[in-house]
């Protein structure tokens, strides 16, 4: 019978992925020690407070800390299993920046005694999990690592990518199917025992590189489909057609389901992960690269439309609705909406820009130098504006009365008012 893990887990990196993972394990009676290099995160988690907005996490985190099954520290402790959930951004040339994974591995290495499981959850290019094994063997030549010792290694290393949707992380972490790719089949088995503690979906065992690639492919698939919708928006504008109407009609076909265009693709997954495939196979991944380029071009296209419209007004006021990278979250990292606003502010520093986002209450750092940029309540921003640019499909914007928009130039990039 498949075994279920018992022991202590150290989760290295307490961000959007690591913290919910730590909490889900800790609320199922596993002793979890969360590790983060950011002292503000360590102190917030130690107080039982969530450092970012995610539904249902607040109560579970407070409960786990109060029960004593979850604690936080800045130092990697002794543990029976290590889950690495640190960032994997890309470099200026779009290659993966694995320095965080490397650093986390270096912190784990001195604590290993033999028998531990090390799981890489960070989204990574194919071969990264094996690199973790190689780095550990350099740092700990006394241990047998699975990339060289398939028989019975001292440490079991696997990749278990995360595919949760921000805003639904606490539900999806439990209900989604999970891919667990081991450097050896035994590594996959051992790592899967951790996920059996809480995962109600199917746990699919495979090799590490296939698991790494599967995660990247999921996000490249999404990116390509969004790029198709965004390309249709370019074509429709050129042909003076309403892209939303075209897509609505095409989707009446029983086997067609075109996604919605938008101001671009953001976040730290869909806008990043396809580049790891391009980096791994630059000659073959042509469609994936083109989709990235189409989606990356969209913020500039939207900003140029607004900038040109501004020239038709004497002292225009622009209401920018939404700054986050997607609806109903507070995360502005890699946000195309924020990028649109930055482009407008840079091109027209004197134009008054009113930023309204129910999840962002301060002017983001990248816009702090612009005196004409300030935050406002949504209705106030629209009332004061000549031009309204809808950038994120937050529920609050969808429910706004259309009558508020009368007499304004409206750019509804997400189609929320259709």
Ligand X SMILES: NC(=O)c1ccc[n+]([C@@H]2O[C@H](COP(=O)([O-])OP(=O)(O)OC[C@H]3O[C@@H](n4cnc5c(N)ncnc54)[C@H](O)[C@@H]3O)[C@@H](O)[C@H]2O)c1
What is the set of active-site residues?
215, 269
Q: How far is the CB of 84 from ligand X (least distance, A)?
A: 8
Residue 257's alpha-carbon distances to 21, 250, 252, 304, in angstroms, are 33, 8, 8, 29
Among the residue ranges 15-23, 60-68, 174-182, 237-245, the one whose residues contact ligand X (CB under 6 A): 15-23
CB atoms closer than 10 angstroms to residue 258: 17
Which residue shows structure tokens 């102190």? 43
Specify the long-range contacts of residues 290-296, CB closer than 8 Å, at least 24 apart: 290/227, 291/220, 291/223, 291/224, 291/226, 291/227, 291/228, 292/223, 292/227, 294/227, 294/230, 294/231, 295/223, 295/226, 295/227, 295/230, 295/264, 295/265, 295/271, 296/264, 296/265, 296/271
Q: Should residue 50 be labelled a site residue for ligand X when binding is judged by CB under 6 A?
A: no
Per CB under 6 A, the list member of 3, 29, 38, 177 interacting with ligand X is 38
Q: Should residue 18 be labelled a site residue for ligand X when binding is judged by CB under 6 A?
A: yes
Among the residue ranges 81-89, 138-146, 238-246, 403-411, the one whose residues contact ligand X (CB under 6 A): 81-89
Q: Should residue 262 be labelled a site residue for ligand X when binding is judged by CB under 6 A?
A: no
Q: Should residue 120 be labelled a site residue for ligand X when binding is judged by CB under 6 A?
A: no
Per CB under 6 A, the list member of 126, 146, 153, 166 interacting with ligand X is 166
When CB distances to ligand X are compared, the closest residue is: 15
Per CB under 6 A, the list member of 27, 88, 129, 295 interacting with ligand X is 88
Q: Should residue 122 be labelled a site residue for ligand X when binding is judged by CB under 6 A?
A: yes
What's the token pair of residue 181? 């790719």
Distance between CA 209 and CA 190 in Å, rounded? Answer: 17
Q: Should residue 12 be labelled a site residue for ligand X when binding is judged by CB under 6 A?
A: yes
Q: How far is the CB of 122 from ligand X (least distance, A)?
A: 3
DSSP secondary structure letters along 208-262 = HHHHHHHHHHHHHHHHHHHHHHHHHHHHHHHTT--HHHHHHHHTTSTT-------
Q: Should residue 162 be labelled a site residue for ligand X when binding is judged by CB under 6 A?
A: yes
Q: Which is nearer to ligand X, 36 or 393 (CB)?
A: 36
Report the b/e string of 21-52 with b at 16+ CB within 10 A: bbbbbbbeebbbbbbbbeeebbebbeebebbe
Q: Should residue 72 be labelled a site residue for ligand X when binding is judged by CB under 6 A?
A: no
Among the residue ranges 57-65, 115-123, 199-207, 284-292, the one whose residues contact ligand X (CB under 6 A): 115-123
Among the residue ranges 13-21, 249-257, 298-306, 311-319, the one whose residues contact ligand X (CB under 6 A): 13-21
* Strands 178-182 and 156-159, bridge-based pairing: antiparallel
Q: How far is the CB of 237 from ligand X (least distance, A)?
A: 31
Q: Should residue 85 be labelled a site residue for ligand X when binding is judged by CB under 6 A?
A: yes
Per CB under 6 A, the list member of 55, 63, 87, 415 interacting with ligand X is 87
Q: Should residue 275 be labelled a site residue for ligand X when binding is judged by CB under 6 A?
A: no
Q: Should residue 317 be labelled a site residue for ligand X when binding is judged by CB under 6 A?
A: no
Task: Decide: helix, strand or coil at residue 132.
Answer: helix
Q: Are 416 and 398 in contact (CB under 8 A)?
A: yes
Count residues contacting ligand X (CB under 6 A)? 28
Distance between CA 379 and CA 383 in Å, rounded? Answer: 6
Per CB under 6 A, the list member of 22, 24, 35, 211 interacting with ligand X is 35
Note the maximum CA span of the chain. Answer: 75
Q: How far is the CB of 235 from ligand X (least distance, A)?
A: 31
- Contacting positions for ligand X (CB under 6 A): 12-18, 35-38, 41, 85-88, 100, 103-104, 107, 121-123, 162, 164, 166, 268-269
């Amino acid at each position: 019978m498949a075994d279920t893990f018992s022991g202590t887990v150290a989760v290295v990196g307490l961000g959007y992925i690591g913290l919910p993972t730590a909490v889900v394990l800790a609320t199922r009676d596993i002793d979890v020690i969360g590790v983060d290099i950011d002292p503000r995160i360590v102190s917030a988690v130690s107080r039982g407070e969530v450092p970012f907005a995610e539904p249902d996490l607040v109560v579970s985190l407070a409960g786990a800390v109060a029960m004593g099954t979850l604690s936080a520290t800045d130092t990697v402790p002794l543990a029976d299993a290590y889950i690495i959930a640190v960032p994997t951004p890309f470099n200026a040339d779009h290659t993966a920046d694995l320095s965080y994974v490397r650093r986390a591995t270096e912190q784990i290495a001195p604590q290993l005694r033999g028998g531990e499981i090390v799981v890489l959850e960070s989204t990574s290019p194919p071969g990264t999990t094996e690199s973790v094994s190689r780095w550990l063997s350099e740092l700990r030549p006394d241990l047998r690592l699975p990339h060289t010792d398939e028989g019975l290694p001292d440490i079991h290393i696997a990749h278990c990518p995360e595919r949760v949707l921000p805003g639904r992380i606490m539900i999806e972490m439990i209900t989604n199917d999970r891919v667990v790719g081991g450097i050896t089949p035994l590594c996959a088995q051992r790592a899967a025992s951790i996920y059996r503690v809480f995962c109600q979906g199917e746990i699919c065992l495979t090799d590490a590189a296939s698991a790494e690639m599967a995660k990247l492919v999921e996000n490249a698939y999404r990116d390509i489909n969004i790029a198709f919708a965004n390309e249709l928006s370019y074509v429709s504008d050129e042909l003076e057609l309403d892209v939303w109407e075209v897509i609505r009609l095409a989707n009446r076909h029983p086997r067609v389901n075109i996604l919605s265009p938008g101001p671009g693709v953001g976040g730290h997954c869909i806008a990043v992960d396809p580049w790891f495939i391009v980096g791994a196979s630059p000659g073959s991944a042509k469609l994936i690269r083109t989709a990235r380029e189409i989606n990356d071009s969209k913020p500039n296209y939207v900003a140029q439309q607004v900038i040109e419209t501004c020239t038709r007004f004497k002292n225009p006021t622009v209401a920018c609705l939404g700054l986050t990278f997607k609806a109903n979250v507070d995360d502005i990292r890699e946000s195309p909406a924020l990028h649109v606003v930055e482009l407008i502010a840079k091109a027209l520093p004197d134009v008054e820009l009113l930023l309204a986002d129910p999840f962002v209450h301060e002017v983001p750092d990248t816009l702090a130098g612009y005196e004409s940029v300030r935050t406002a309540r949504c209705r106030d921003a629209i009332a004061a504006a000549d031009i309204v640019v809808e950038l994120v499909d937050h529920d609050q914007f969808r429910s706004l009365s259309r009558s508020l928009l009368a007499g304004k130039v409206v750019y509804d990039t997400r189609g929320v008012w259709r």
